[in-house]
Structure 1
Amino acid sequence: MPTAGGLYWWTHYFAGEKYKNPLSFLIGYSNTLGLIGGICSVDYTLALMILSCVSISRDDGWSASRGVIYAVYVGLILLHGICAAFSGRIMPKIQTACIYINVSLVIATVIALPVGKVTRGEVLNPGSYVFQHVDNETGWPTGWAFMLAWLAPIWSIGSFDSCVHMSEEAMHAAKAVPLGIIWSAGSACIVAASRQAWAFSRDGALPFSNFFRYISKRIHYQPVRVIGGLVVISLILGLLCLINNAATNALFSLFVASNYLSWGTPIFCRLVWGQERFYPGEFYTGRLSKPIAWIAVVYLLFGVVLSMFPTGGPNPSPADMNYTVVINGFVWAGCMAYYFLFARHWFAGPRMTVDDNNSSISEIGASNSVVSSGGPTYAKEE
């Protein structure tokens, strides 16, 4: 079902009748804010990496102040916003280049460095040390400290839904999107966030939706206003890095917990309520579909819980506290309060952007071949 809305659209489609609208509203906001958190955390990390290279090259003990870090962060956000707005047509090529770069770096790290050590006659650590030695520098038991080590890959390998939000611009999305998810997870956060926010605005759920739903004819039919709004929000949220590390880590926590909830909910809805509405597409795992889905739900729930633990150990100080539960709890509770107080009177779920006469629900489910590439969806917005 190619749709830029992705997760909240599927949640609404599969959820039980009483839960469709509130769950869809929750996942829409959770996914939008989670992707914004992804933009902030990725660019903040990139700013630290760039400045660490500067520090190493100077070799005089210099380290960047929080103001300098924020300045580099601002430059990166603006650069990526411009790329997202003006490079939409070549984004697949950029994605492909990033994939090759990442694979090359992995090869260099896993193969080239050890080979270089051996060539220079340096002694490598034995396999027993590499795979069995453990240094637990936290206050948690070793077993749980090992589980907390999952936080690094949980954060690093993310944005699995990036390609989903681009599906309305893809040819033969039924195959292209699943393959894109497999090959390019973690790429193009700002592009994914812009499509998600635009789709949510198209359904009238975000503040100032009539403004943000606009598609620019001048700039290759890109949601430029949404991209600009995301840039502004990211710059404001980035101010947290001027406070302390605990405030900075809030950006990371927003990305992990909110997106994990968003990824898991439509899968759970499909398993519990959506069996009669589920139509296998071209990319289908057959009998393994349900077991894979349940494993996904359990793992994503585990990831949400894991992301809320302080990594240093129990009884953390305010500076070492993990504020994930506070940040995401505020997002989720605030979203639900907004829905039940106001939005329930007008939010009716995702709006159809294809003509029912041309494509029925069963046809969409059976073929997964309804695609709009600058067509009906965009034309209506113009």
Structure 2
Amino acid sequence: MTADAIPEEDGRRSASVVFKAQADGLASAEDAEVLAGLGYKQELRRNFTMIEVFGLAFSIMGLLPSIASTLTYSLPAGPVGLVWGWFVPSLFIFFVGLAMADLASAMPTSGGLYFWSHYFASPNTRNALSFLVGYSNTLGLIGGLCSIDYGFSLMLLSVVVIARDGEWEPSRGVIYAVFLACILCHGVLASTLSKVMGKLQTVFVVANFVLIAATVIALPIGRADQRNDAAFIFGKVDNLTTWPAGWTFMLSWLSPIWTIGAFDSCVHISEEAANATRAVPYGILMSIGSCWIFGWIIVIVIAACMSPDVSSILGSAYGQPMAQIYYDALGKRGALGFMILMFIVQFLMGLSIVVAASRQTWAFSRDGALPFSSFFRPISKTFGYIPLRAVWGCVFLGAVLGLLSLIDSAAASALFSLGVAGNNVAWGTPIFCRLVWGEHKFKPGPFYTGKFSKPIGWIAIVFMVFGTLLAMFPTGGPNPTVGTMNYTCVISVALWGGSLAYYYIDARKWFTGPRTTLDADELSKDQQDALRDEGTTIEGIKPSSISGGGEESSPVVITKSQDNQPRD
């Protein structure tokens, strides 16, 4: 149910919805009205400004730590893979952001991706696709949380390795212990700092830029007599894999694909953003654009200041190629200092993605799609109108999934790849549904790309399909061993196949897409008619309450029993 289903004369939502949101200090009248048009009450407090929405996405991307963590993808192609392997795919990622921004401005809700998929898809596919997108997005975000916190544990422990001159190597158990302590700490902070979480995003952005500026200044000074020339930076091609050189360059695209992958967090914070129809789309584009530009500056500086012997960087005894680059330029103390700054910023990334993941989890629970939805659904007023149970649900699941890191690095990498493959499906499906089935239903918001909207959407879809396939290739070569195999295809197919199997075996009996949380007396007649046509559920309200007639005049929808569980 969306605002465009309601004629202009019925555009004013019930005063009780708007006034209650204002009285509780949750939202402005405009934001509460837009959300009511999508069928939802205002339940979260809108603490985030446009800059803070941008800050959430940018801090999750954690530009320099993410580049450092993904050098193993870009450096095998040499400086060309590092520099141009960043610039070119970042352009295509910006197209994805533009396509998502169009939808986010028109329909800003925390569960945006699966909500849009359901609204734009054909009647025969909408429930299944919405279910698939919701699970892909939820588990993709939790996989991203695991990846960030696992990267934090490696960076923190690399400081110990550098301090011991490379003569100590952490066991998998030690790595997991640091990971577990980190993710639990994130749960505590995400629970207790909710009232200032928006303002903290500005602090996190500043911390990111301090690290970027310090690196961009320090590395050229430290390598003043050994800097590489422009021909090396922009034209030197290497191939440290057994793939053809051209495909090794394509695999270098995985660095920006992994790094610039959190812009959908702006969508998930929609119901906590002031002036969401503008703040969310601009937050998406500002975060991608900043990473594109400043990331390119960073990789150029790295290419200028790194050792020409790329294999020695990738085989560093310190466990992190970036640690070796810092060490070569700044010595032991300089490397220690920058790696400490690096893991601090990485820690802040993890805190921000807990916020984003919990909002998606809460939104999906609000629509009754997750196991134990009635448990995760409540909002905690005590802790500042946040989905407290959803926060800890994400933390707990992340801690359990992180146990795969105890097996080996290949298993951990496969799990964390959900952040690419799972999210690409979640991002691409609503765009595809809009272009193929729902273009006639799309009513632009304040941000709109106009006549370029359709070609932008198709470019985005083609790129995401390619990026998903790219993420499934073994990065070392075409004949991987058990230890070097990329198991992304196994994990991703299990996620998508499992989600669809769950839907067709059981969930199709009760999942009918997004549920309206407004009461019947808060709906205009045209909203009621649109709900009836869409088959959208209203919490606690039977079909006859909204049909304006008998139950025969309305399709079967899911209602809730006294125990708040879905039933036919």
**TM-score with structure 2 setting the length:** 0.61
1:376 alignment counterpart: none
Structure 2: how far apart are the matches of 1:61 and 1:289?
Answer: 55
> 1:214 deviation in Å?
1.3
- Shift, 1:284, TM fit: 1.1
Task: Supply the distance in 1 between the matched residues of 2:507 and 2:195 (Cα, whole angstroms).
Answer: 35
Flag structure 1 segments of 5+ consecutive residues without an equivalent: 364-380
**Do the aligned partners of 1:38 and 1:251 also contact (CA within 8 Å) in 2?**
no
Question: What is the Cα deviation at residue 251 of structure 1?
Answer: 2.3
The answer as to 2:397 corresponding to 1:230 is: no
Q: CA RMSD in A?
A: 1.9
The question of whether the paired residues in 1 share the 8 Å contact of 2:194 and 2:383 is answered with no
The aligned amino acid for 1:194 is S
Aligned counterpart for 2:234 among listed residues 131, 152, 171: 131
SS, match of residue 320 in structure 1: coil
Q: Percent identity?
A: 58
Using the alignment, how far apart are the partners of 1:240 and 1:252 within structure 2?
Answer: 10
The alpha carbon displacement at 1:100 in A equals: 2.3
| 1:189 pairs with 2:295 | no
Task: Structure 2: state its 5+ residue gaps.
Answer: 1-106, 292-348, 531-563
Mapped to 1, the partners of 2:228 and 2:444 lie a distance apart of 49
Q: Is the 8 A contact 1:22 1:339 kept in 2?
A: yes
Alpha-carbon separation, structure 2, partners of 1:116 and 1:359: 67
Alignment-derived partner of residue 258 in structure 1: 422
Instruction: State which of 353, 356, 359 in structure 1 corresponds to 2:523.
Output: 356
Three-state SS of the structure 1 residue aligned to 2:483 is coil
For 1:176 and 1:359, locate their aligned partners in 2 and report how far apart those are by CA, in whole Å. Answer: 28
1:10 lines up with 2:116 in the alignment: yes
Residue number among 259, 269, 272 corresponding to 2:433 in the alignment = 269
1:109 CA drift (Å): 3.2
1:162-173 pair list within 5 angstroms: 162-173=265-276
Instruction: Give, in whole Å, the separation in 2 of the partners of 1:60 and 1:238.
Output: 26
Alignment partner, residue 150 of structure 1: 253
Q: Is the 8 A contact 1:95 1:184 kept in 2?
A: no
CA distance in 1, matches of 2:192, 2:412: 29
Q: Pick closer, same or farther for the CA change 1:359–1:233 going to 2, 3 Å.
A: farther
Matched, 1:90 2:196: yes
CA deviation after TM superposition for structure 1 residue 62, in Å: 1.3
Does structure 2 conserve the Cα–Cα contact (< 8 Å) formed by 1:260 and 1:300?
Answer: yes
Q: Which residue of 2 aligns with 1:104?
A: 210
**Preserved CA contact (<8 Å) 1:204 1:347:** yes
Matches within 5 A, 1:312-323: 312-323=476-487
CA distance in 2 between counterparts of 1:60 and 1:168 reads: 47
CA distance in 2 between partners of 1:46 and 1:222 (Å)? 26
Offset at residue 108 of structure 1 (A):
3.2
Q: Counterpart of 1:86 in structure 2: which amino acid?
A: T
Over residues 164-221 of structure 1, what are the superposed CA-to-partner deviations in whole Å (9 max), with x where a residue is unaligned? 1111122110011112223446952111110111111111111111111111121111
Aligned residues between the structures: 360
SS in structure 1 at match of 2:417? helix
Match of 1:51 among 153, 157, 163: 157
Q: Take 1:60 and 1:268, find their aligned partners in 2: how far apart are those partners?
A: 49
TM-score, normalised via structure 1 length: 0.90
Amino acid in the other structure paired with 2:253? W
Question: What does residue 246 of structure 1 align with?
Answer: 410
Q: After TM superposition, where is structure 1 displaced by more than 6 Å over at least 4 residues in a row?
A: none
The one-letter amino acid paired with 1:155 is W
Where does residue 46 of structure 2 map in the other structure? none
